[in-house]
């Protein structure tokens, strides 16, 4: 069943004559805005790419919430399939998660996604070397755990200050961390989007884990590089300061489109409402 879906998708994305929609609305995301958190998500093909290789999910269950974004590697066979396999695997893990240990869940979800992508690529020669990024946020009351591989980013706006909570796994970011290039040089470096770590590239994967306590009114943006690479931190802070999170996300996507949108765009925006209710 899974293999049939993979082959059908592979044939679909290679049918250039097919009219691929620019905008793909959220689908099959069982998320209920409630006491703990409110959210909005959008994905867009952009203005240059022929198809969308991003995938995401927003799920909630009781006092727990899951947000995840995966960005299939452009230039690799089956990028859109890799990202969807990763998200589907993460959703399965969330269904099995009974609460507590959100750090273990976030790590395990990405590691299992890695094995699914890797094994599928190995068993299908036409998908050989397909890879994706993956960032998972597991929220339980005031506790947040972030599992991260690749160059999607998680931004937090708290008390008017914007902070990037994840680290890019790219050649330029590694050079910047080693102080071999400046922040300005990293913005123009040819290795800005060349990943040093990705889901599906190897059966063994090291997952970054970040933990933090959330506060009421904290606003978070989880997005693919197609969004963050075209807007400044200041623009993100200004957009996320709006009380209307739907308007905030539309404003950010509009900025990217106005800049030419050379890559797929995916953003998941959520705001913490009240961590005291179960």
Encode pLDDT of 122-136 as tens digits: 999 889 889 999 999
DSSP per-residue string spanning 197-262:
S-BTS-S----EEEEEE--TT-EEEEE-HHHHTTS-HHHHHHHHTSS-HHHHHHHHHHHHHHTT--
Residue 2 burial by CB count (10 A; 0-12/13-18/19+): exposed, middle or buried? Answer: exposed
Q: Quickly state the pLDDT bin for 224 (edges 50, 70, 90).
A: very high
In 3-state terms, what secondary structure has residue 170? strand
Note the pLDDT of residue 11.
Answer: 52
Note the pLDDT of residue 180.
Answer: 72
Note the pLDDT of residue 16.
Answer: 31
- Report the chain's terminal Cα–Cα distance, integer Å: 38
Alpha carbon dihedral 256, 260, 262, 268, in 10-degree steps, equals 10
Per-residue pLDDT reduced to its tens digit, 161-181: 999 999 999 876 677 676 776
β-pairing, 143-149 vs 153-158, is unpaired
Average pLDDT, the chain: 85
| Cα gap 176→207, rounded to integer Å | 20
Residue 44: how many CA atoms within 13 Å on its side-chain side?
24
What average pLDDT does range 136-155 have in this prediction? Answer: 96
Domain 2-272 has CATH 3.60.40.10: yes
Q: Quickly state the pLDDT bin for 236 (edges 50, 70, 90).
A: very high
- Looking at the DSSP bridge assignments, the partners of residue 141 are none
Is 157's pLDDT higher than 50? yes
Q: Quickly state the pLDDT bin for 62 (edges 50, 70, 90).
A: confident
pTM equals 0.87
Note the pLDDT of residue 1.
Answer: 44
Closest CA to 267 of 157, 170, 131, 152: 152
What average pLDDT does range 100-119 have in this prediction? Answer: 96
Note the pLDDT of residue 194.
Answer: 76
Question: Are the CB atoms for 46 and 261 separated by under 8 Å?
Answer: yes
Domain boundaries, the chain: 2-272
């Amino acid at each position: 069943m899974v293999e049939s879906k993979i082959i059908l998708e592979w044939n679909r994305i290679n049918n250039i004559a097919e009219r691929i929609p620019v905008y793909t609305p959220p689908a099959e995301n069982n998320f209920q805005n409630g006491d703990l958190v409110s959210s909005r998500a959008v994905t867009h093909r952009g203005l240059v790419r022929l198809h969308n290789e991003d995938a995401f999910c927003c799920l909630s269950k009781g006092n727990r919430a899951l947000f995840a974004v995966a960005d299939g590697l452009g230039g690799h066979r089956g990028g859109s399939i890799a990202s969807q396999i990763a998200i589907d695997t993460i959703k399965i893990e969330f269904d099995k998660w009974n609460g507590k240990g959100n750090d273990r869940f976030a790590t395990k979800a990405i590691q299992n996604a890695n094995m699914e992508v890797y094994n599928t690529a190995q068993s299908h020669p036409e998908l050989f070397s397909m890879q994706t990024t993956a960032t998972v946020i597991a929220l339980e009351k005031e506790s947040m755990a972030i599992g991260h591989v690749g160059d999607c980013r998680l931004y937090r706006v708290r008390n008017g200050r914007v902070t990037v909570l994840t680290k890019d796994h790219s050649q330029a970011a590694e050079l910047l961390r080693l102080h071999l290039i400046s922040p300005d040089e990293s913005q123009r470096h040819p290795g800005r989007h060349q990943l040093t770590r990705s889901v599906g590239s190897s059966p063994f994967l090291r997952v970054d884990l970040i933990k933090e306590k959330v506060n009421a009114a904290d606003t978070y943006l989880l997005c693919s590089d197609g969004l963050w690479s075209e807007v400044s931190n200041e623009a993100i802070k200004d957009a996320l300061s709006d009380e209307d999170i739907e308007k905030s996300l539309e404003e950010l996507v509009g900025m990217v489109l106005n800049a030419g949108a050379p890559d797929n765009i995916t953003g998941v925006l959520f705001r913490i409402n009240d961590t005291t209710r179960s």
